[in-house]
Chain A
Amino acid sequence: DVKVTQSSRYLVKRTGEKVFLECVQDMDHENMFWYRQDPGLGLRLIYFSYDVKMKEKGDIPEGYSVSREKKERFSLILESASTNQTSMYLCASSSGPIYEQYFGPGTRLTVT
């Protein structure tokens, strides 16, 4: 079974703090994704990576950056957290031409 793990289930940070969200997958998948989920808006893609050190912007990259130094790990960075970044953050991975993505359990981030 594919396993995607995220470093924290719940996180509370203050405005202006730098925030790191970590994601690890154990199936040697090439592709990794970061989404945020907000009520009524579904899942919106922030960034994705199709190879180590490669990254591409998704639909809402503003205020975020990412890092992929190893194939199994994909980090989402909030350089200076703001209250409008309070959300559920979901990491996913997929393999090559396969469309199905496998998701982690999510991190609920609250910025106060």
Chain B
Amino acid sequence: DQQVKQNSPSLSVQEGRISILNCDYTNSMFDYFLWYKKYPAEGPTFLISISSIKDKNEDGRFTVFLNKSAKHLSLHIVPSQPGDSAVYFCAASRGARAGNMLTFGGGTRLMVKP
């Protein structure tokens, strides 16, 4: 039973356009959400996060939106660049517990075409 789901396994976007990656969750106890990017043969790297008390967080070309009522979050990349081609994982945390465990989605492979 996956508590965090990324329903699109892959996404292809033209360079310069917007990339929108989606993530749904089922556990209402999640209160902190993160996005990670993973290149082949490397570990995931942290990209951006959002607390459940906010509905939007921006960092340069990356914006994360959170819709708590729909249990949905999305990552927007504008403008998309070929170097953004990677697998993106969303993750959620169940709050202040020892170790702050994260639950990850299955990932979406983004391909940005020049």
Contacts and interface: CB of A to CB of B under 8 A. Distances in A.
B106 A99 contact: no
B43 A92 contact: yes
Contact of A41 (B41, B42, B43, B106): B106
Given A42-B89, A56-B99, A58-B101, A101 B46 contact: yes
Contacts of B44: 43, 90, 103
Interface residues of A, number: 30
A42 B41 CA distance: 15
Interface of B: 2, 4, 6, 9, 32, 34, 36, 41-46, 49, 89, 91, 93, 96, 98-107
Given A48-B99, A98-B100, A99-B49, 6 more contacts: A43-B91, A50-B99, A56-B99, A97-B100, A99-B100, A105-B42
